[in-house]
Structure formats: structure tokens, C-alpha cells
Amino acid sequence: MFEEFNFPRADQLDVMNTLLASIASGQEGGISIKSWKDVQRINRMGLADKIFVEGDRFVAEYDETPVVWEIAGINHDESTDPVYKNTITIIPVDCLENRQFSARQAFYNVGIGLAPGTHVFTFAVGHNDERQYEFTTAQEVPEDGVIIVSSWDGEGYVISKITTYEADRKTTIESGINVTIVSGQANTLTPVNHQQRVKYGSNNYKESTIRHWLNSDASTWVFVPQTDYDMPPTTAYPTGGFLNRLDPDLVDVLGTVNKQVTRNNLFENGGNLLGQDTFSDKVFLLSRVETGLGTEGTYAGEKVYPLFAQATNADRIKLLSGSPRSWWLRSPITTYSSYVRGVRTSGGLYNYYAYIAYGLVPACVIV
């Protein structure tokens, strides 16, 4: 489904009529702008900025429901394919739904396997404090199985129970295994994941579940761990990938673009702190920089979308079911490993634990 919602603006009519009279609807050889293919054709002719402006709106279906989309930027994003020089980036006017950024992660991956027996590990409980723990398993954990914290003692990072899982991260082997605090023993489980990611999820966008799902066109989406510690979403994801639920006519004109996201400076797998991750996707979350909410970490190549260049907080408010809803950005708080930046219900910048489900406002690019 394609529906022109707000096109063109009145102050563009003279420009369009003068420069593009031949594309008027009904003229032989012209472009009748009635589909996403027509928008793509205009874009590829290099005429998008003569016809459209940021904020122009269209309607396309998501999950068989009409959704209003608006242009965030014209020729703002760089196509991964050098053949295509022009792009139109669109985002939904409001949140599509709630989605979890990343589930709470496992604290240990057993690698080639873990035999039954008594195991010892050390886990941080604060910035300058840690505990050594011991627990005993009765069953083997097979290759690439994981161990999660299933119960915490109080509000901090002190562990009381753990659960072991098969490599699929869904099949439980043993649950509710008691953990006791010990000291002075040799660790048998190392390395372990960062305590924040174990309790609250990961703020690494490139490795996130939400990114993996956004770029899936599978009719039956299957969780695939992106790191040794990833766990499946604990809030329900839909059966199909995002691209499978989006209007197929819109999907057909989308292309991948080159993007960046800062890393945090506290913890990353492999110790690769700060700097940037680069990726090329069809669908992505916006960043702090791109929404006009300031800079943080390493942000080379990122720039504010024209839609948000003069935006106030009120302009960034997104609704879900008629009420303001906090929504995800892809940027992390660089001083944490679990907090992800987001836009709060007032339209200002905030931060949220990755494992909580907040509003989904994905961008995609016509090339």
C-alpha cells in the first residue's frame, strides 16, 4: 500500500511545474507518483530534493496496518552500493510498537563443554569490589552452552542462583542451582561477562537482537546469538522479521547504507573500547547525533538529520496507542555497558536498560 499523505508543499509547486512538467500524472512518459517505485525513480533521477522536503509524509503498511512515514533526510545517507548516489531516509511519525533492545546476557559460555562438578568464578559486585563464588552441577553443559544468573541477592550484583542452558540458549539443563560465596580458590570459569550486561543487557547496537531482527525478512524469525553471551528476547518478538512485516512495495525500493555507532569505554567483548563500529543495513535505529540530541563518544561521520536540525523536544515526541512513549536510539551511554540512549516521553534525551521494551522508531532508506 502506498498513499501520498502530504505532497508536495505549496511552496514547491512552481519549482515542480517548471522543472518537471513532463512527469505530471497522465502525461505520456511521465511519472505518476502513486507508488514507492515512482518515489525511487524520482530519487534515482536526482530530483528528490526538487520535489520533496524533509517532513513530507506518506502512508505505507506495517503489519497490515497503515502507518504514517515522514522524510528525515534527502541525500543524507550514503548507499553501500556506489552505483546509487541519491537516497531518501524515512522514519515512522510515531512508534510502531515496543521492542527489547537486548536481553539480559549469560555470565559464562562453556566453550567446548563443561563437565559435571564443582566450579569457581569471580564476579564484580561494584566498581572496586568483587566476589568469588562456587556452585556444583550434576549434568554436563554441552559445547557453546551458557550459564545465566537466575536469582540475585538484593538490588546489587551479588549472585544467589544460576541456571545452565543448552547451546540454543532456550533449553534448560539445570535451574535454580545454589551459589555460595567462597574465597582464596582458583577460578575454573574464566573469563566471565560484565556484571551490567548480565543483569541489564548489552548496549552494543552492532551485536544487538533488535538490529538482527530489524534486518530480517524471514517469515519465521529465529534468534541467532551475536556474541558468546547473547540470550533470546524475554519480551515476545513477532513471528516474522521486521522486513517481512513491512509493506513489500516499500521493502522493494530500500537499500543498504553505511552507518556508524560509538562503542562504550567500560566493557566490550575482546576489550575493543570506544572508537566506532561501522555497519551497512537497510533498517536501523537513529543515533543521538542524528536526532539533534548532542554528541557522545566517537561520532565521526554522523550528522543530524534535517528533520531534527531545528527540532525542539516537543518535535521528538512519539506516540504509541495515543500516548507519548519513550523510544530507542542506537547510541550507548559510553560510561556503561548496559544503558542505551533513548528519547523520553517529553522528547528529551534519556537512557534505559537494554532489556526493557521501549518504542520502536526505525529508519529505512530508499535508494
Dihedral sign, CA of 344, 223, 63, 34?
Answer: positive
In whole angstroms, what is the distance from residue 300 CA to residue 297 CA? Answer: 10
In whole angstroms, what is the distance from residue 339 CA to residue 317 CA? Answer: 20
Cα three-residue angle 85-294-88, rounded to 5 degrees: 20
In whole angstroms, what is the distance from residue 201 CA to residue 52 CA? Answer: 40
Q: What is the pLDDT of residue 127?
A: 77
Distance of CA 162 to the CA centre of its chain: 28
Cα dist. 178→126, 231, 329 in Å? 21, 21, 37
pTM of the model: 0.92
Contact status, residue 163 vs residue 104, Cβ threshold 8 Å = no
Q: Which residue has the cell 536526532?
A: 291
End-to-end CA distance of the chain: 19
Q: What is the DSSP string of 154-171?
A: SSSS-EEEEEEE-TTSSS
Q: What is the pLDDT of residue 126?
A: 82
DSSP for residue 246: B
Pairing of strands 327-332, 2-6: unpaired
| Residue 219 phi, psi dihedral angles, 5° rounding | -70, -30
Q: What is the pLDDT of residue 5?
A: 56
| Residue 51 phi, psi dihedral angles, 5° rounding | -115, -45
In whole angstroms, what is the distance from residue 100 CA to residue 108 CA? Answer: 22
Task: List, in sequence order, the alpha helices (H) in 45-133.
Answer: 48-51
In tens, the pLDDT along 308-320 reads: 999 999 999 999 9
DSSP for residue 307: G
CA atoms within 13 A on the CB side of 32: 7
In tens, the pLDDT along 101-119 reads: 999 999 999 999 999 999 9
Q: What is the DSSP string of 192-205?
A: ---HHHHHH----S
Return the number of other C-beta atoms located less than 10 Å from residue 278's C-beta: 12
Q: Which residues contact 306 (CB under 8 A, 6 or more apart)?
A: 54, 72, 73, 74, 76
Return the number of other C-beta atoms located less than 10 Å from residue 301's C-beta: 12
Q: What is the pLDDT of residue 28?
A: 52
In this prediction, the residues of the chain whose per-residue pLDDT falls under 50 are 8-27
Cα dist. 112→95, 194, 366 in Å? 42, 21, 44
Q: What is the pLDDT of residue 29?
A: 53
Environment class of residue 235 by beta-carbon count within 10 Å: exposed (0-12), middle (13-18) or buried (19+)?
Answer: exposed
In tens, the pLDDT along 184-200 reads: 999 999 999 999 999 99
Q: What is the pLDDT of residue 189?
A: 98
DSSP for residue 40: H
What single-letter amino acid sits at 285?
Answer: L
Q: What is the pLDDT of residue 31?
A: 59
Q: Shortest CA distance to 250 belongs to which of 8, 35, 31, 52? A: 35
